[in-house]
Amino acid sequence: MSVPALPRPPGLATLCGDLHSGRMGRRDFLGHATALGLGAAAALALAGLPGPARAQPPIARGGTLRIQQNVKPLKDPRSYDWSEMGNQTRGFLEYLVEYQRDGTFRGMLLQGWSVNEDATRYALRLRPGVRWNNGDIFTAAHVAHNITRWCDTTAPGNSMASRMTPLIDPATGQARAGAIEITDPLTVTLYLDRPDISLIASMSDYPAAIVHPGYDGGDPFAHGIGTGPFRPVSLAVGERCVLERHPDHRWWGADVFGGPWLDRVEFVDLGTNPTTWLAAAEAGEIDMLYESVGSFIPAMDAIGWTGTGIESTATIVFRGAQNARISSINPYARRDVRRALALAVDNAICLELGYDGRGTVAGNDHVSPLHPAHADLGPAPHDPAEARRLITQAGLMGFRHELVTLDDEWQRASGDAVAAQLRDAGLRVVRRIVPGETFWANWRDYPFSGTQWNHRPLAVQVLGLAYRSGAAWNETGFANAEFDALLDEANALFDAEARRKVMARLQAILRDEGVIIQPYWRDLHNHHNGRLVNAEKHPSHEIHLCRIGFAA
């Protein structure tokens, strides 16, 4: 069966108009245009923008790269819930699409894609010549197999299902009949039951790693089959994760991108205390940090390491779980109580005390000014007196709130800043600070806690993951039919200005319902020893091992 010819990516004229009028920044334009199927070079030319001019420094072949990063237990990739998991398998489990630091989307296992005028049909074109490291040829059937797996709403923790909703039959919780078509050995065509402009972006997110049809769950290290240039060697949770260049697998990307450059990669778990990271860096025991945070950024600069940084939509969210069970009462099920918590907190104070001022103040609505369709609702209201009135009216001034955070430098400090302000408003608050292994395993289950959320290119992505009714990552327990319907409406709009009007209503619902205290957006940083090439911090915490190497 042949694929009908699809038009050039839709919405480009509107996107260019938004760019030239100042309603959309360069990064947002490039992300939108490339997600709709336009190559980065063509998108730049269409917008009248110059292409990148940075020369690639020479890279030496060989060597072992030692990266400080928490080493987490692995599971089915579609249920990955921390970006570190994606990094641990990215060397051999690759992605259809890769999100770049400049905001563009680039095909990896896909050579390209096309989108019809209303974003209800996507034609995915595979890159020819790709093989799995067991010798099997990578085919459209394998892509269809993975997308079908992503659509399985019954699989525990499968967050990809909430990203694939337009392909899913709600009656069965599985891929809808006829939604995924193997058109030819190198083409998969997807037929959506509603428009979705975020589909390509979702395929670049870290739970979207492509697995071999022979994989049936469990630890991907134990299975070991992938299309990437490395192979798994060993993984000791909380200690070390090791990959090495596969000696018998010719990687398809060598002819496209060059590399791989490294012989071996070691993720070294040094805990959550940055003092330990600094000591290891000074001792020459590591080459690169996963992330540099807060007041330790100048400390890393002081030892002569090379720092990199980037704006992002990464954040921390404090929330009361509306569906939590707390003995005989759950205050967070009550709108006025949730609103009171948010009113008691000055977000600017949280940014200064919690993150050393390295970001921008947020507005309790989880949509960033970096997102193309952000609606400016003004600053989140701060009114401790009104917070006290609402809590008193609810009869809960004596209720003891237990605020849980991870035991690391910036999240602990941010939680302390929130707790102090709630106490200043007259509330009883105790702090519970838990080690990483405990927090990461239970992050969705705490009644009142702070959770970090990664950068996502489109606001509709994160709103769908975090606040859609019943979504796997919906830690707030928020369920609102109007919100869900507006989110579907926003997902169908190419025009950022039209989408902004819908986004204003979505943002207002989150704020008015007191769903979250979301104090700031994080600028992200990392450091390396100055000997690395292509080791700049990625806005989504991704580490692209196939391109990093030591300077020649």
Checking if the pLDDT of 28 tops 80, the result is no
Contact between residue 6 and residue 121 where contact means Cβ atoms under 8 Å apart: yes
E-strand stretches of 435-516? 448-453
E-strand stretches of 367-498? 400-406, 428-434, 448-453
User: Of the CATH numbers 3.90.76.10, 3.40.50.300, 3.40.50.150, 3.90.110.10, which one belongs to the domain with range 12-55+95-208?
Assistant: 3.90.76.10
> Both tokens of residue 479?
């369920």
In 3D, which of 168, 138, 188 has the Cα closest to residue 1? 188
Checking if the pLDDT of 49 tops 70, the result is no
Checking if the pLDDT of 10 tops 70, the result is no
Predicted confidence band of residue 9 (pLDDT cuts 50, 70, 90):
low
Q: Give the CATH class of 226-309+525-551.
A: alpha beta
Which range among 41-45, 79-83, 232-236, 385-389 shows the weakest confidence by mean pLDDT? 41-45
Checking if the pLDDT of 383 tops 50, the result is yes
Portions of the chain given CATH number 3.90.76.10: 12-55+95-208
Q: Hey, how many other C-beta atoms are within 10 angstroms of the C-beta on 170? A: 10
Task: State how far the Cα of 310 lies from the Cα of 312, in Å rounded to an integer.
Answer: 6
Q: Which residue has the higher pLDDT, 39 or 112?
A: 112
Q: What percent of the chain has pLDDT over 70?
A: 92
Contact between residue 211 and residue 220 where contact means Cβ atoms under 8 Å apart: yes
Predicted confidence band of residue 2 (pLDDT cuts 50, 70, 90):
very low
How much is the pLDDT for 163? Answer: 95
CA distances to 191, 192, 240, 349 from 179, in Å: 5, 6, 41, 48
> Both tokens of residue 133?
């490291």
* Residue-wise pLDDT tens digits, 141-164: 999 999 999 999 999 999 999 999
Portions of the chain given CATH number 3.40.190.10: 226-309+525-551
DSSP SS3 for 336: helix
How much is the pLDDT for 4? Answer: 44
Checking if the pLDDT of 283 tops 50, the result is yes
> Both tokens of residue 431?
């702090």
How much is the pLDDT for 61? Answer: 95
User: Of the CATH numbers 3.10.105.10, 3.40.50.720, 3.40.50.620, 3.40.50.10470, which one belongs to the domain with range 315-522?
Assistant: 3.10.105.10
Q: Summarize the confidence of residues 456-480 as an average pLDDT.
A: 95
> Both tokens of residue 287?
């080459």
Checking if the pLDDT of 50 tops 70, the result is no
Predicted confidence band of residue 5 (pLDDT cuts 50, 70, 90):
very low
* Residue-wise pLDDT tens digits, 110-153: 999 999 988 999 999 999 999 999 999 999 999 999 999 999 99
Tell me phi and psi for residue 426, to 5 degrees: 100, 0
H-assigned helices in 262-383: 274-282, 296-302, 335-343, 347-355
* Residue-wise pLDDT tens digits, 300-334: 999 999 999 999 999 999 999 999 888 788 999 99
> Both tokens of residue 148?
């079908």
Which range among 30-44, 301-315, 337-351 shows the weakest confidence by mean pLDDT? 30-44
Portions of the chain given CATH number 3.10.105.10: 315-522
In 3D, which of 235, 206, 280 has the Cα closest to residue 71? 235
* Residue-wise pLDDT tens digits, 222-254: 999 999 999 999 999 999 999 999 999 999 999
Checking if the pLDDT of 355 tops 70, the result is yes
List all residues 6 or more positions away from 250 whose beta carbon is below 8 Å from its beta carbon: 131
Predicted confidence band of residue 495 (pLDDT cuts 50, 70, 90):
confident
Q: Work out the mean pLDDT of the chain and round it to a whole number.
A: 93
* Residue-wise pLDDT tens digits, 358-377: 999 999 999 999 998 899 99
Tell me phi and psi for residue 260, to 5 degrees: -70, 155
Q: Summarize the confidence of residues 73-95 as an average pLDDT.
A: 97
Tell me phi and psi for residue 115, to 5 degrees: -130, 135
Q: Hey, how many other C-beta atoms are within 10 angstroms of the C-beta on 294? A: 19
